[in-house]
Amino acid sequence: MKLTIPVSDSDQTKGKGNAPVTLVEYGDFECPYCRLAYPIVEEIQKIKGDGIRIVFRNFPLSQIHPHALHAAYAAEATAKQGKFWEMYYLLLENQEALEDQDLLTYAKRLNLDIQQFKKDMGSEEVAKKVKDDFMGGVRSGVNGTPTFFINGIRFDGSYEPGSLQKAIESTLKHRRKGGATNE
Protein backbone atom coordinates (compact mmCIF):
# COMPACT_ATOMS: atom_id res chain seq x y z
CA MET A 1 0.00 0.00 0.00
CA LYS A 2 1.09 3.53 -0.71
CA LEU A 3 0.61 6.78 1.11
CA THR A 4 -2.12 8.59 -0.82
CA ILE A 5 -1.73 12.01 0.80
CA PRO A 6 1.79 13.43 0.34
CA VAL A 7 3.55 15.06 3.27
CA SER A 8 2.78 18.78 3.35
CA ASP A 9 3.20 21.89 5.48
CA SER A 10 0.01 20.98 7.36
CA ASP A 11 1.71 17.87 8.81
CA GLN A 12 3.46 17.68 12.17
CA THR A 13 7.08 16.98 11.28
CA LYS A 14 10.48 16.63 12.92
CA GLY A 15 13.68 16.68 10.92
CA LYS A 16 14.74 18.22 7.65
CA GLY A 17 12.27 18.33 4.78
CA ASN A 18 14.94 17.13 2.36
CA ALA A 19 15.96 14.11 4.46
CA PRO A 20 16.48 10.99 2.35
CA VAL A 21 13.94 9.06 4.43
CA THR A 22 10.52 10.21 5.58
CA LEU A 23 8.79 8.05 8.19
CA VAL A 24 5.07 8.77 8.45
CA GLU A 25 3.23 7.38 11.45
CA TYR A 26 -0.53 7.20 11.77
CA GLY A 27 -1.07 7.04 15.49
CA ASP A 28 -3.57 7.22 18.33
CA PHE A 29 -2.54 8.87 21.61
CA GLU A 30 -4.47 6.30 23.67
CA CYS A 31 -3.11 3.26 21.81
CA PRO A 32 -0.72 1.21 23.97
CA TYR A 33 1.16 0.06 20.86
CA CYS A 34 1.80 3.68 19.85
CA ARG A 35 3.20 4.20 23.34
CA LEU A 36 5.55 1.28 22.80
CA ALA A 37 6.58 2.45 19.34
CA TYR A 38 7.38 6.08 20.08
CA PRO A 39 10.69 5.53 21.96
CA ILE A 40 11.79 3.27 19.11
CA VAL A 41 11.07 5.99 16.58
CA GLU A 42 12.90 8.49 18.80
CA GLU A 43 15.94 6.23 18.95
CA ILE A 44 15.96 5.79 15.18
CA GLN A 45 15.84 9.56 14.75
CA LYS A 46 18.78 9.97 17.14
CA ILE A 47 20.77 7.41 15.17
CA LYS A 48 19.85 8.76 11.72
CA GLY A 49 19.89 12.46 12.60
CA ASP A 50 19.41 14.57 9.47
CA GLY A 51 18.91 11.38 7.46
CA ILE A 52 15.29 11.01 8.56
CA ARG A 53 12.19 13.16 8.83
CA ILE A 54 9.42 12.00 11.18
CA VAL A 55 5.78 12.83 10.43
CA PHE A 56 2.89 12.19 12.80
CA ARG A 57 -0.70 11.99 11.60
CA ASN A 58 -3.71 11.48 13.82
CA PHE A 59 -5.66 8.26 13.56
CA PRO A 60 -7.82 8.24 16.71
CA LEU A 61 -9.61 4.91 17.11
CA SER A 62 -12.48 6.41 19.07
CA GLN A 63 -14.53 3.21 19.18
CA ILE A 64 -11.94 1.48 21.37
CA HIS A 65 -10.09 4.50 22.79
CA PRO A 66 -12.67 6.98 24.14
CA HIS A 67 -10.11 9.72 24.88
CA ALA A 68 -8.17 9.48 21.61
CA LEU A 69 -10.15 12.08 19.70
CA HIS A 70 -9.84 14.81 22.33
CA ALA A 71 -6.17 13.94 22.79
CA ALA A 72 -5.68 14.46 19.03
CA TYR A 73 -7.50 17.80 19.28
CA ALA A 74 -5.24 18.79 22.18
CA ALA A 75 -2.12 17.91 20.20
CA GLU A 76 -3.26 19.92 17.20
CA ALA A 77 -4.37 22.86 19.37
CA THR A 78 -0.91 22.79 20.96
CA ALA A 79 0.69 22.71 17.51
CA LYS A 80 -0.91 26.07 16.81
CA GLN A 81 1.29 27.40 19.63
CA GLY A 82 4.40 25.64 18.34
CA LYS A 83 4.63 22.85 20.93
CA PHE A 84 3.14 19.81 19.19
CA TRP A 85 6.01 17.45 19.97
CA GLU A 86 6.08 18.43 23.63
CA MET A 87 2.36 17.59 23.90
CA TYR A 88 2.90 14.42 21.83
CA TYR A 89 5.32 13.14 24.50
CA LEU A 90 3.05 14.11 27.39
CA LEU A 91 0.04 12.38 25.86
CA LEU A 92 1.86 9.16 25.06
CA GLU A 93 3.60 9.03 28.42
CA ASN A 94 0.36 9.67 30.33
CA GLN A 95 -2.14 7.50 28.49
CA GLU A 96 -3.92 6.66 31.72
CA ALA A 97 -4.76 10.37 32.18
CA LEU A 98 -6.39 11.75 29.02
CA GLU A 99 -9.57 13.31 30.39
CA ASP A 100 -10.24 16.89 29.27
CA GLN A 101 -9.00 18.19 32.64
CA ASP A 102 -5.74 16.27 32.16
CA LEU A 103 -5.31 17.80 28.70
CA LEU A 104 -5.74 21.24 30.23
CA THR A 105 -3.15 20.40 32.89
CA TYR A 106 -0.66 19.43 30.16
CA ALA A 107 -1.36 22.67 28.29
CA LYS A 108 -0.60 24.62 31.49
CA ARG A 109 2.57 22.58 32.02
CA LEU A 110 3.69 23.64 28.53
CA ASN A 111 2.98 27.29 29.35
CA LEU A 112 0.45 27.62 26.56
CA ASP A 113 -2.00 30.49 26.25
CA ILE A 114 -4.84 28.57 27.93
CA GLN A 115 -7.69 30.62 26.51
CA GLN A 116 -6.32 30.15 23.00
CA PHE A 117 -5.76 26.44 23.67
CA LYS A 118 -9.39 26.01 24.76
CA LYS A 119 -10.61 27.97 21.75
CA ASP A 120 -8.46 25.89 19.37
CA MET A 121 -9.50 22.60 21.02
CA GLY A 122 -13.09 23.36 20.05
CA SER A 123 -12.36 24.92 16.68
CA GLU A 124 -13.55 23.64 13.34
CA GLU A 125 -10.00 24.05 12.01
CA VAL A 126 -8.54 21.59 14.53
CA ALA A 127 -11.42 19.13 14.06
CA LYS A 128 -10.93 19.29 10.28
CA LYS A 129 -7.16 18.67 10.61
CA VAL A 130 -7.75 15.55 12.71
CA LYS A 131 -10.49 14.33 10.36
CA ASP A 132 -8.31 14.98 7.29
CA ASP A 133 -5.45 13.01 8.87
CA PHE A 134 -7.82 10.15 9.67
CA MET A 135 -9.42 10.06 6.21
CA GLY A 136 -6.00 10.22 4.54
CA GLY A 137 -5.06 7.18 6.61
CA VAL A 138 -8.20 5.34 5.56
CA ARG A 139 -7.45 6.09 1.88
CA SER A 140 -3.91 4.79 2.42
CA GLY A 141 -5.14 1.51 3.90
CA VAL A 142 -4.51 2.27 7.57
CA ASN A 143 -6.69 0.08 9.76
CA GLY A 144 -4.82 0.11 13.05
CA THR A 145 -2.19 1.99 15.00
CA PRO A 146 0.63 2.55 14.75
CA THR A 147 0.91 2.27 10.98
CA PHE A 148 4.13 3.42 9.37
CA PHE A 149 5.03 4.46 5.83
CA ILE A 150 8.66 4.70 4.77
CA ASN A 151 9.06 7.07 1.82
CA GLY A 152 5.43 6.55 0.95
CA ILE A 153 5.38 2.74 1.13
CA ARG A 154 3.50 1.04 3.94
CA PHE A 155 5.78 -0.82 6.33
CA ASP A 156 4.04 -4.00 7.44
CA GLY A 157 6.81 -5.43 9.57
CA SER A 158 7.26 -5.13 13.30
CA TYR A 159 8.05 -1.69 14.68
CA GLU A 160 10.61 -3.29 16.96
CA PRO A 161 13.94 -1.42 16.72
CA GLY A 162 15.77 -3.92 14.52
CA SER A 163 12.96 -4.48 12.04
CA LEU A 164 11.96 -0.86 11.49
CA GLN A 165 15.57 0.31 11.41
CA LYS A 166 16.48 -2.41 8.91
CA ALA A 167 13.67 -1.25 6.61
CA ILE A 168 14.90 2.34 6.90
CA GLU A 169 18.47 1.23 6.11
CA SER A 170 17.19 -0.64 3.07
CA THR A 171 15.39 2.48 1.89
CA LEU A 172 18.53 4.57 2.34
CA LYS A 173 20.59 2.02 0.44
CA HIS A 174 18.04 1.99 -2.38
CA ARG A 175 18.12 5.81 -2.54
CA ARG A 176 21.92 5.85 -2.71
CA LYS A 177 21.69 3.55 -5.70
CA GLY A 178 19.42 6.04 -7.42
CA GLY A 179 16.04 4.59 -6.48
CA ALA A 180 13.01 6.81 -6.53
CA THR A 181 11.25 8.04 -3.46
CA ASN A 182 7.58 8.64 -2.91
CA GLU A 183 6.38 10.47 0.18
Are 20 and 53 contacting, i.e. CB atoms less than 8 angstroms apart?
Answer: no
State which residues form the domain around 41: 12-176
Q: Could you tell me which residues are beta bridge partners of residue 26? A: 57, 147
**Percentage of the chain exceeding pLDDT 90:** 83
Decide if 135 is inside a domain.
yes
Residue 55: give its domain's CATH number.
Answer: 3.40.30.10
Decide if 183 is inside a domain.
no
Q: How many domains does the chain have?
A: 1
Report pLDDT digits (tens) over 97-131.
Answer: 999 999 999 999 999 999 999 999 999 999 999 99
**Residue 41 C-alpha from the chain's centroid:** 10
pLDDT for the residue numbered 181: 47
- Whole-angstrom Cα Rg for the chain: 16
Report pLDDT digits (tens) over 40-94.
Answer: 999 999 989 999 999 999 999 999 999 999 999 999 999 999 999 999 999 999 9
- Residue 182 pLDDT > 50: no
Helices (H), the chain: 32-48, 68-79, 84-93, 100-109, 114-121, 124-139, 161-176
Decide if 2 is inside a domain.
no
Decide if 1 is inside a domain.
no
Decide if 37 is inside a domain.
yes
Decide if 4 is inside a domain.
no
pTM: 0.93
Report pLDDT digits (tens) over 125-160.
Answer: 999 999 999 999 999 999 999 999 999 999 998 877
Decide if 159 is inside a domain.
yes
Are 43 and 178 contacting, i.e. CB atoms less than 8 angstroms apart?
Answer: no
**Residue 151 C-alpha from the chain's centroid:** 15
Decide if 54 is inside a domain.
yes
Neighbours of 76 (CB within 10 A): 23
